[in-house]
Structure 1
């Protein structure tokens, strides 16, 4: 699987009857950067229970691609969902089964619960249930550049590429960039694992916060600044 693979090649059986020029240009990389080209976010938490469609792959690809991929940042669950679908189709198993021997087992994370779509596919854009300590291990794994207990599990080059800011926004491949040269995995209502390479530190939290910007400001001012 290549980041440069076109979505029209990756999902040939799921495409709409009319394929616009922007969809023809979209690649797997565009699934990870929130610059897919669609005008607004879909498959978001409050939307998912209300869809009448069961086939979310065909539904997602039928949403108009209003912008040239890579030019317009919109937080959108369609991208990571389709990326997760592609991994499952190529591997022949769900994401938990794929990641357990390759990642979760190494980090000491027991087989976790992960939300599924109506057809039983793992919902790669969210819905993964981790404890605070498990989330923190993920942050430490990235701080250690893909190495755990002396073993390189993930390429260091991928760690660097996935956490670098894009040309269009302060965002990598599903990672937000932040102050103090930080980057973070940031889930809904501030489920956060923030990595600060310059300070050799990881800050993780689980929360139910409806004002994420205020919480992030406090985190920077009261914790990061004092490290």
Structure 2
């Protein structure tokens, strides 16, 4: 399926390594194009947004609360001497990248070389630079711990938790998801899905969590996610605000965002979503071309 609205965008990305794109408007797929055959791909940090959905569901089920202290969930992993910043660290700080560290940890190039196998203990032992909630720093520690909290309270991994609540309703086959050395789902990355799966997930958020007449994700969680929760202090229009493991962008858009151009973009002003899978080092280039050559056409 190739719609004329995609032609300017397709021409503009001739030098970009694209894999597939889907555009949905008013609940209908209006455009689709594949540079490569559809397959499950690593969604990298777009995985974080699925962890966010799990947190929203767990809050609705009464398992956790945004204002809960993180140390309450991991009493066996906290340092003997608890710094005041760790004492005050709350679940909401994990979701807004405002833990209080001055360096990013558990990143893709770091994980294969780590000697520490207990990543929860490692994460809770990182020195603090700032008071939690006061400084944005993009890191995998927050979303990893958020995913671990859901797993602790639910008594199962994130895939098992999300299968009946999210993946099965969206008709997404059981996915593969990266695990830590102890077998826990790594909620900060490594979820393998197709661009179709990412498009449906994005459409679910556009529909405020409703799928086939059923409230899949709590409406209040989607509405909170759709609002910026923290400033990133960046000048880039695509990354100057962040919410609960979603980036915010132009025209009140917000998105799941993966390392090489895995995008699930929710466009409330257009009543539309765009899902992209790519393998391009310059994500911003894709977003620039999208906003210039596709957004006006929708």
Counterpart of 2:254 in 1: which secondary structure?
strand
CA distance in 2, matches of 1:156, 1:168: 23
1:53 is matched with which residue?
116
CA distance in 1, matches of 2:73, 2:158: 18
More strand by share: 2
Matches within 5 A, 1:138-157: 138-157=201-220
CA distance in 2, matches of 1:8, 1:122: 19
**Cα RMSD between the aligned structures?**
0.9
TM-score w.r.t. the length of structure 2 is 0.75
Q: Which runs of 4+ in 1 moved over 3 A?
A: none
CA distance in 1, matches of 2:294, 2:132: 37
Contact 1:70/1:168 (<8 A) preserved: no
Cα displacement (A) at 1:24: 1.1
Contact 2:256/2:264 (<8 A) preserved: yes
1:186 is matched with which residue?
257
Counterpart of 2:278 in 1: which secondary structure?
coil
2:126 aligned residue (32, 38, 63): 63
CA distance in 2, matches of 1:163, 1:15: 33
Counterpart of 1:180 in 2: which secondary structure?
helix
1:89 is matched with which residue?
152
TM-score w.r.t. the length of structure 1 is 0.98
Higher relative contact order (CA 8 A, sep 6+): 2
2:288 maps to 1:225: no
Matches within 5 A, 1:18-167: 18-167=81-230
2:70 maps to 1:7: yes
1:196 is matched with which residue?
267
2:276 is matched with which residue?
205
Distance of aligned partners of 1:109 and 1:81 in 2 relative to their CA distance in 1, 3 Å threshold: same
- How many residues were matched structurally? 227
Structure 1, unaligned runs of 5 or more? none
Cα displacement (A) at 1:168: 2.8
Contact 1:163/1:171 (<8 A) preserved: no
Higher mean C-alpha deviation, range 26-35 or range 157-166 = 157-166
